[in-house]
Chains A and B, each alone.
Chain A
Amino acid sequence: MSLSTQDTETKAGRRDVVASLFRFQSLFGLVAVFLVAVIFSPRHDGELLFLNSDNLFNVVRAVSEIGIMAVGMTFVILVGGIDLSVGAVLGLAAVGSAVLMVESDFGVAAAVVIVLVIGVVFGFLQGVASAVFGIQAFIVTLAGMQVARGLARMWSGGQGVPIAYGDGPGQAPVTFSLLGERTFNGLVPIPALIFAVVAVVAIVFLRTSAFSRHVYAIGGNEKAARLSGVPVTRVKVIVFCIAGGLAALAGIVHAGQLNQGSPNDGFGYELDAIAAVVIGGTSLMGGHGTVTGTVAGALLLGVLNNLLGLHGVDPNVQLLVKGLVIVVAAGLQRLRPTT
């Protein structure tokens, strides 16, 4: 009797260890890839180029847009949905930022607010179509992707709108160009800071709010959640609003970094955002996952890209490597003990 209890206790203990290993899967993955990057880093006069502080911040800057979008995507995937429109919404937001400031003479604050509202409203409409009318999120956002691209093309007249800075008409306020700058002695890129702020806010929000318990409950078992009084429809609509708003924020950052809003911006970015979420250990079935994991997943992708780029590896090979990493990450999920 006492022996078997002890036995089950050790088993349970071991399962806890295994479970927490999987919980931090993406962090371990990130550490592993980081170490690989250090070991295989190209050198110059004995210096490890990968560890150069400029380079490390380049990595974070390069993933900041994907990272911001992936944070929003995490919420959608946690309720068992998907948002394929975020890349196109990024393009729409980039165009919007450029056109509003350059052609319509809006100030930075007004333009940013309008663009964010557009993103949120876009997400809201998709959320309603998906949660209220019960159309699959995949289909709704596939359609949303086309609509956002079409709107971006119409709004921009089909071509990139360059952003010039200054006080005159046809020029954007200089403040907006801060998005392309670095601070703390020219070291830390502003987009990386914005990504960090978004991530920290989302992590705290997801750990502490009642809303987040509803998110996990819906992803775990939607019917049960509904029966136990979770406002399923409302929560689902809100997560799409979050994803749309963050995609728009990423679009603003994109326009600021490249000094242009082009309707082709963000093409294919939704796949990188989904990849970051999956590598981060969030289950595509919903219910399991964390923003911390997503951030680690985005950084992991960034470190990989950087290492391959520093070695001058053919970008087509980079795609292969990225694909393999996604498959490995998703494969590890299947080994995860169900709790």
Chain B
Amino acid sequence: MARRRAVATVLTMAAALTLSVACGTTSENSGQNQQAGGPSEKCEGPDGEYTIGMSQANRAEPYRERMDDDIRAAAEDVPQFTVEFADAQQDNAKQVSDVENFLTRQIDVLIISPNEATPLTSVVAKAYNRGIPVIVLDRKVDGDAYTTWIGADNVEIGRTAGEYVAKTLLPNGGKVGELRGLAGSTPAKERGDGFRQGIEGSGVEIVASADGDWLRDKGQSQADAMFKANPDIQVVYSHNDPMAEGAYLAAKAAGKEKSMKFIGIDGLPIPSGGLKAVEQGRLSATLIYPTAGKEAVEAAEKILIDCAEVPKEQTLDTQLITADNAATVYNEANS
């Protein structure tokens, strides 16, 4: 009996607590900002010292590792900057904690490449509403509670790839196999949609489409099956370079790598990246998907050192890479 009462008391207390909680909350998620217009209050000019917090979604992809490297390299040229890096390892909840830790450490500017848009929106808004300038890279967050977004247009990149195939590789029409990124991810959808816009009205048609999940080995096995079912495929359009390399290997195993063409996206200026693959002739072309790392540090300089404003959105241009310019662009990126 006494026990029952004890349990009942606890439950009542719990209910009361929950109710009192429900009444006392305030909304923090919206993007009412104190920053719009005028320079950031964090700006102390060239005499200040600033800590940049860089929250990366994951470092397992070469593209994101390169983004961190670009930020590190660009920040080394600015004596007022030190950069702290965090790696969320593809976990939204971890990335929220990473940003909270940055806030505790009182960073002066937040650069974030979100793992996913919606789950990161409220913690980004929290930083922004505390007066910390927020530079969002690659993937966006919802709403407008950030200082600037820098990234590339995946639809535009896909369209450029499609036009290249329609005008240069298959001017008289032909058959294309598509290796898609991870199903359900935004870039996979946009790169696929853009390509279809690019080939519209030409004689080029997509005869097969398979999910390679961004991975080289998955791309290889999918291409293998694709070539068996459709031996007349002339061009493989891959949503990233590693899958295009996988398709090249599959074609090589079937002895037809010479008669086929492969194009990818990303064009990372690293030894294992797409630029080298084009230079060495495995891929016919790749399209650069800029990491925006350098541009992010430039934006931070404008905000903190020049006390200037930056545009809300900066879309970076892509560049078509063929055997003609692959080596030059690689050397420029690593100079």
Interface residues of A (CB under 8 A from B): 42, 44, 49, 52, 54-55, 58, 62, 65, 157-160, 162-163, 175, 177-178, 180-184, 186, 188, 190, 193, 197, 200-201, 204-205, 208-209, 254, 257-260, 262, 265, 267, 305-306, 309-310, 312, 314-315
Verify A58–B118 contact, CB threshold 8 A.
no
Query: What's the nearest-Cβ distance from chain A to residue B213, in Å?
Result: 12
Are A306 and B25 CB-contacts (below 8 A) given A158-B183, A259-B121?
no
Residues of A within 8 A of B7 (CB): 201, 204-205, 208-209
- 11 A-B pairs besides A160-B184, A183-B24 with CB distance below 8 A are A55-B104, A62-B100, A178-B22, A182-B28, A183-B21, A183-B25, A204-B7, A258-B93, A259-B121, A260-B119, A265-B92
For B6, what are the chain A residues with a Cβ–Cβ distance below 8 Å? 204, 208
Interface residues of B in 45-90 (CB under 8 A from A): 84-89
Asked if B27 is at the interface of the complex by the 8 Å CB criterion, the answer is yes
* Contact between A184 and B24, CB atoms less than 8 A apart: yes
Q: How far is the CA of A205 from the CA of B6 in the complex (A)?
A: 9
Q: Which residues, 3 to 34 on B, are CB-close (under 8 Å) to A?
A: 3, 6-7, 10-11, 14, 17-18, 20-22, 24-29
What residues on A are CB-neighbors of B258 within 8 Å? none
CB distance from A256 to the nearest CB of B (A): 11
CB distance from A164 to the nearest CB of B (A): 8
- Are B105 and A49 neighbours in the complex by a CB distance under 8 Å? yes
Question: Which residue of chain B has the shortest Cβ distance to A62 in the bound complex?
Answer: B97
Q: Which 8 A/B pairs are nearest by Cβ-Cβ distance? A: A159-B184, A258-B119, A162-B118, A208-B3, A197-B14, A181-B25, A309-B101, A183-B21
**Are B105 and A44 within 8 A (Cβ)?**
yes
Question: A51 → chain B, closest Cβ, in Å?
Answer: 10
Q: How many Å lie between the Cα of A258 and that of B96 in the bound state?
A: 9
- The closest CB in chain A to the CB of B119 belongs to A258
A172 shortest CB reach to chain B, Å = 12
Q: Give me 14 A-to-B residue pairs in the complex whose CB atoms sit less than 8 angstroms apart, sorted by A's number.
A: A157-B184, A160-B118, A160-B119, A181-B25, A182-B28, A197-B18, A205-B7, A257-B96, A258-B96, A258-B119, A260-B119, A265-B92, A306-B97, A309-B97
Chain B interface, DSSP helix/strand/loop, else mixed: helix
* Interface size class, chain B: 35 or more
Q: Closest approach, in angstroms, between the C-beta of A35 and any C-beta of chain B?
A: 19
Q: Chain B: residues with CB nearer than 8 A to chain A? A: 3, 6-7, 10-11, 14, 17-18, 20-22, 24-29, 84-89, 91-94, 96-98, 100-101, 103-106, 116-119, 121-122, 142, 183-185
Do A200 and B10 touch across chains, with their CB atoms under 8 A apart? yes
Q: What CA separation (Å) do A132 and B94 show in the bound complex?
A: 39
Find out whether the CB atom of B87 lies under 8 angstroms from the CB atom of A306: no
Residue of B87, B91, B100 touching A314 (CB-CB under 8 A)? B87
In the complex, A310→B6 CA distance in Å? 41
A58 touches B100 (CB 8 A): yes
Chain A residues lying within 8 Å of B93, measured Cβ to Cβ, are 62, 65, 254, 257-258
| Alpha-carbon gap, A159 to B122, bound state (A) | 20
B268–chain A nearest beta-carbon distance, Å: 22
* Distance between Cα atoms of A20 and B6 in the complex (Å): 25
Bound: A158/B119 CA distance, A: 17
Question: Given the complex of chains A and B, what is the CA–CA distance between A260 and B119 in angstroms?
Answer: 6
What's the minimum C-beta distance from B27 to chain A, rounded to whole angstroms?
7
Contact A49 B104 (CB under 8 A): yes
Least CB separation from B9: chain A residue: A204
Minimum CB–CB distance from A247 to chain B (whole Å) comes to 15
Q: Given A162-B117, A254-B93, A310-B101, A44 and B106 touching (CB < 8 A)?
A: yes
Q: Indicate which residue in A160, A175, A190, A309 contacts B116 across the interface (CB closer than 8 Å).
A: A160
A116 to chain B, nearest CB (A): 15
What's the least CB distance linking A48 to chain B, in Å? Answer: 11
| Inter-chain contact A186/B28, CB cutoff 8 Å | yes
Chain B neighbourhood of A262, CB < 8 A: 92, 116
Report A-chain residues with C-beta under 8 Å of the C-beta of B121: 259
Residues of B within 8 A of A205 (CB): 7
Inter-chain contacts of B104 with A (CB < 8 A): 49, 52, 54-55, 58, 310
A262 to chain B, nearest CB (A): 7
B14 touches A306 (CB 8 A): no
Roughly how many angstroms separate A181 CA and B11 CA in the complex, as a whole number? Answer: 22
> Does B86 contact A312, Cβ atoms closer than 8 Å?
yes
CB-CB under 8 A from A314, the residues of chain B are 87
| Known interface pairs A158-B183, A193-B18, A259-B119; A181-B26 also in contact (CB < 8 Å) | yes
**Nearest residue, chain A, Cβ from B100:** A58
Instruction: Establish whether residues B97 and A177, one from each chain, have CB atoms under 8 Å apart when the complex forms.
Output: no
Contacts of A184 in B (CB 8 A): 24
What distance in Å separates the Cβ of A244 from its nearest Cβ neighbour in chain B? 20
Contact B21 A190 (CB under 8 A): yes
Min distance, Cβ A73 to any Cβ of chain B, angstroms: 18
The distance in angstroms between the C-alpha atoms of A293 and B121, with both chains bound, is 35
Contact B118 A178 (CB under 8 A): no
Expressed in whole angstroms, the minimum distance between the Cβ of A46 and any Cβ of chain B is: 13
Which residues of A have CB within 8 Å of B10?
Answer: 200-201, 204
A260 to B121, CA, bound (A): 11
B residues within 8 A CB of A193? 17-18, 21
Q: Which residues of B contact A312 (CB under 8 A)?
A: 84-86
Q: Which residue of B lies closest to A259 (CB)?
A: B118
Q: Which of A54, A159, A315 has most B Cβ within 10 Å?
A: A315
A258 touches B92 (CB 8 A): yes
Bound complex: CA of A254 vs CA of B100, how far in Å? Answer: 17
Most chain A Cβ neighbours within 10 Å, of B26, B28, B105: B105
State whether B92 touches A310 (Cβ < 8 A).
no
In the complex, are the beta carbons of B89 and A315 less than 8 A apart? Answer: yes
* Shortest CB distance A183–B (Å): 5
Question: Is A310 a contact of B105 with CB atoms below 8 Å?
Answer: yes
Residues of B within 8 A of A208 (CB): 3, 6-7
A129 CB → nearest B CB, Å: 30
Q: In the complex, are the beta carbons of A201 and B89 less than 8 A apart?
A: no
A53 to chain B, nearest CB (A): 11
Q: Which residue of B lies closest to A264 (CB)?
A: B90
With a 10 A CB-CB cut-off, give which of B17, B21, B94, B122 has the most chain A CB atoms: B21
